[in-house]
Amino acid sequence: MHPLNFLLTRTSKFGKKTQKTLSLAPNAVSSASQKFDKKASQIHGLHVSRTNKNAFAISLIEPVIFETDEADQVAQIIEAWRELKLGQIFYDDEILTVQGEEPPQTPKIAQTQPISQQTSQQNAPLTVQKIQPQSPPLNHGNANPLAMHHLSKLPRFPKPPNSAEKLMKPQNFELVASVGKGSFGQVFLVRRVDDNRFFAMKVLKKRAVIDRKQLNHLRAEHTILQSVTHPYCVKLHHSFQTRTRLFFILDFALGGEMFHHLKKQGQFPEILSIFYLAEAVLAFEYLHEFDIVFRDTKPENLLLDGYGHVVLTDFGLAKCGVSADSTDSIGYSTKTFCGTPDYLSAEIVASVAHGKAVDVWSVGALLYEMLVGQAPFSYGNGAGTAPNRSELYRRILRGNVIFPAHVSEPARQLILACMQRRPKDRPTMAELRDFELFQGVNWEKLARREVPPPQKIKIEENCIKAVEGRLAQNSGDSIYKYIMPDNLVAHFDPRFTQEPPTLAPSTAQDGVTAEEDKNFREFNWTSPDAFRQ
């Protein structure tokens, strides 16, 4: 659209005429006579009067830029700004682009029309003469906050329900068995003494969280776990703390890690792989609807419950507020280099901004590993071996996915579609449903957990009842008359289950200061339905 140029004539009471020029373009407003030249991103708006029909004013924006090391803080401010209704929120890559960087392309949308190009002759020494369109005098880009900026794809954030009144303490739980250990935490099977129900307890040291700068990640994980309600995502029931530790009480998945079963079987048959993958896709689709990116898909983070259904767990690397599907799509993306090397997408390895498409890549890698028994870019190195890190990253960026002969054509098509190197070329989670590999899946029944798993896991019925809180609900009744603790952890790694279920002793080095401890105030919470069966 060409600029609209106006010649404004003003006659004084003494009959003297003065003329001023005004040029209105989609991306700028300028007046050579006034030495006025402003980009649209600097314009607040046009002010007119109901009483003085012969005047107008152009108001300007004087931006004050704030910078922070934490993108999460910016996202939180956006959410607070919206909730407090402080005004519109604009994407403005021009104002905020770091010097030397090219701003991302912003889709153009329809321009607003000038308020009026007519002039009132009543009283009026002011006349407006419209000049023929000319080429724009300056190139200012497209950043008009009122007409040009898209307001779509603002990030959504989880909104946890309020805590129930009854908060827990460590003494409300009995340590039954050790089932896992991480770099700064432990995982136990525990019994809630009030009602004999069994859970998983994740224990983290506050000192390690602070020293490793994991507080923001932990806050995001806690918020997501509080908010997620999906049949294929793990549920948080309680969180509480001591001066040195944090405790998360989660669903206990009797079937253990998918990795344990995959390692034992070598590879899964296609029908079982399709079933597990379809349930995982439903979980990811749900998360993506709420702008949550998981970023750590692997067989170790997919548990199996007592019936053999998938349970997505470990949201430690998950990110809230990621509304962009891919690197170059509209919305908020993130740039943290994180994840498990074999499952890293090309854009993460390339250290560029990424969106929800990273989870789509890892879904393809997950299907490959279930069918083949090795990760895509480790296949061909021999059983139990993997390329070194630099070679692995080279393959992720430039190598081809090699398939053994037994992988079907529909499976290959889905894997290759998910692992396209350009994120925008990958399907979304919802679009995966239409692939030939899933043609026999009844998605509605699957979402209601009405499709039985093709492979059953050997688990005693009383163990399932104990985990669901349906066995010996009276705290005075000894539940161990009905079940053996070893049977509850039969599908977990013996390296952990054979260790005594004891918390690592706290030392003076594990302590945090009173000021540091204020960072953990939010980690006292009980789900409103924590005591429902």
Mean pLDDT in residue range 73-102: 59
Exposure string for 128-154, b = 16+ CB within 10 A, e = fewer: eeeeeeeebeeebbbbbbebbbeeeeb
pLDDT at 29: 84
Q: Amino acid identity, residue 322?
A: V
**Long-range CB contacts (< 8 A, 24+ apart) of 373-377?**
373/262, 373/266, 373/267, 375/342, 375/343, 376/342, 376/401, 376/415, 376/419, 377/342, 377/401
By C-alpha distance, which of 185, 242, 243 is closest to 217? 185
The residue ranking higher by pLDDT, 152 or 355, is 355
Give the annotated binding-site residues for ATP: 202
Say if CB 96 and CB 147 are below 8 A apart: no
pLDDT at residue 330, rounded to an integer: 42
Angle, CA of 404, 429 and 92, to the nearest 5°? 125
When comparing pLDDT for 48 and 231, which is higher? 231
Q: 204-241, pLDDT tens digit by residue?
A: 999 999 999 999 999 999 999 999 999 999 999 999 99
| Residues 276-312 pLDDT 10s | 999 999 999 999 999 999 999 999 999 999 999 999 9
β-pairing verdict for 127-131 and 185-192: unpaired
Q: Could you read off the pLDDT of 356-385 as tens digits, one per residue?
A: 899 999 999 999 999 999 999 887 665 555
DSSP state for residue 146 in the 8-state scheme: T
pLDDT at 262 over 90: yes
**pLDDT above 70 coverage of the chain, percent:** 77
Check residue 347 and give its pLDDT: 84
The whole-chain average pLDDT of the chain stands at 81
Q: Could you give the CA distance from residue 222 to residue 345 in angstroms, rounded to a whole number?
A: 25
Structural domain boundaries in the chain: 4-69+89-131, 170-249+459-526, 256-447
Distance of alpha carbon 113 from alpha carbon 387, whole angstroms: 60
Give residue for tokens 């983070």.
301
Cite the DSSP H helix spans in 267-385: 270-289, 346-349, 357-372
- Binding-site residue set: 202
Each residue's pLDDT tens digit, 385-399: 567 888 888 998 888
Rounded to an integer, the average pLDDT of 255-271 is 96
Distance CA 118, CA 226 (A): 58
- If you average pLDDT over residues 5-14, what whole number do you get? 73
CATH architecture, domain 170-249+459-526? 2-Layer Sandwich (3.30)
Confidence of residue 120 (pLDDT cuts 50, 70, 90): very low
115-124, 351-360, 431-440, 462-471: range with lowest mean pLDDT = 115-124
pTM, whole model, 2 decimals? 0.70
In contact, 198 and 216? CB cutoff 8 Å: no
> CB neighbours of 238 closer than 8 A, spacing ≥ 6?
167, 168, 247, 248, 249, 525, 526, 527, 530
Residue 155, pLDDT score: 65
Which pLDDT score is estimated for 19? 76
Q: So what's the pLDDT on residue 110?
A: 34
Contact indicator for 96, 174 with CB cutoff of 8 Å: no
**Single-letter residue type at 253:** A
CATH topology of domain 256-447: Transferase(Phosphotransferase); domain 1 (1.10.510)
CB 59, CB 91: distance < 8 Å: no
Catalytic residues: 296
- 490: confidence class by pLDDT, cuts 50, 70, 90: very high
